[in-house]
Amino acid sequence: MHKSVYDIIRMKKDGKKISVVTSYDYTLASLCDKAGIDVLLVGDSAGMVMLGYENTIPVTMDQMCMFTEAVSRARKNALLVADLPFMSYQVSIEDAIKNSGKLIQAGADAVKLEGGIAMSETISAITDIGIPVMGHIGLQPQTTMLSEGYKVQGKTKDTAIKLIEDAKELEEAGAFSIVLEMVSHEVAQIISETVSIPTIGIGSGVGCNGQVLVVQDLLGMYEKIKPKFAKRYLNLSEEIVKSLENYKTEVESGIFPAQENWFSMDEDEFKKLREQIGS
């Protein structure tokens, strides 16, 4: 039986840190789940990491459902949360509910959406029909990036107070956890101590109740962007390229495939074949 929303909430109450990994495909999600990761997040960052977009804006509901389905087939133990992509929930509450339902049908246990107080009514409506919601404040790739660019949030008193108010409002609206992206660690600590639901940090310091990284970032597979908060536990991109170069060399030289890599006919059958075709 995989983890539930209540299991994740309980982890904060029990003082246990929560591990979250953003994953988009069956193969890597299987490995994340096997490693015991608590939450698999199907992020709209799939648009950049998997599809090569410049940002998350072009990602569609159909694409998010496809990635969610793949990860859902892989997980056995983790909670599965899926992002609502840009403009799938901002236009109307009806859209938000309908698209949240699509992600649940695709295999998610909960959905994630960006925004503070302005999204509280939407979160309430989604949770009212029984779909758990993970909030997301601080840097919001779908919107903050458009107006402010890539910058740390909560560095002044006024912006800090706004973030704290946003977090309280999301909890009141029914969110079961909140992602804090690139929030100053002081403010992230205050939020984590203020709300009773878990906070999941990304570039927001050790005071959060959990942490999230993109699996390709922590494995060193995604070269285009190397954010400060993404610790690399491996540098697989170099190893992968090296392996592919070795493969190319062996193909060109005839080393690969070797006998152990191919299949053979029964000797008697091969003899009959040669006799039949006169060779």
Is the peptide bond preceding residue 132 cis, with omega within 30 degrees of 0? no
What is the pLDDT, as a whole number, of residue 146? 62
* Whether the predicted pLDDT of 106 surpasses 80: yes
* Whether the predicted pLDDT of 278 surpasses 90: no
Which amino acid, residue 48? Answer: M
Q: Is 165 annotated for ligand binding?
A: no
Domains and CATH numbers, the chain: 5-234 (3.20.20.60), 239-277 (no CATH)
What is the pLDDT, as a whole number, of residue 268? 96
Q: Is 45 annotated for ligand binding?
A: yes
Q: Is 23 annotated for ligand binding?
A: no
Degrees (nearest 5) of the Cα angle 87, 83, 154?
A: 85
Looking at the DSSP bridge assignments, the partners of residue 177 are 134
Q: Is 44 annotated for ligand binding?
A: yes
Q: Of residues 54, 69, 172, 181, which has the active-site annotation?
A: 181
* Cα(152)–Cα(276) distance, integer angstroms: 76
Region 92-115: what's the mean pLDDT? 98
* pTM, rounded to two decimals: 0.94
Mode of pairing for the β-strands spanning 110-112 and 177-181: unpaired
Q: Is 264 annotated for ligand binding?
A: no
Quickly state the pLDDT bin for 191 (edges 50, 70, 90): very high
The yes-or-no answer on residue 181 being catalytic is yes
What is the pLDDT, as a whole number, of residue 237? 94
pLDDT for 149-184, tens place per residue? 778 999 999 999 999 999 999 999 999 999 999 999
* Cα(2)–Cα(8) distance, integer angstroms: 11
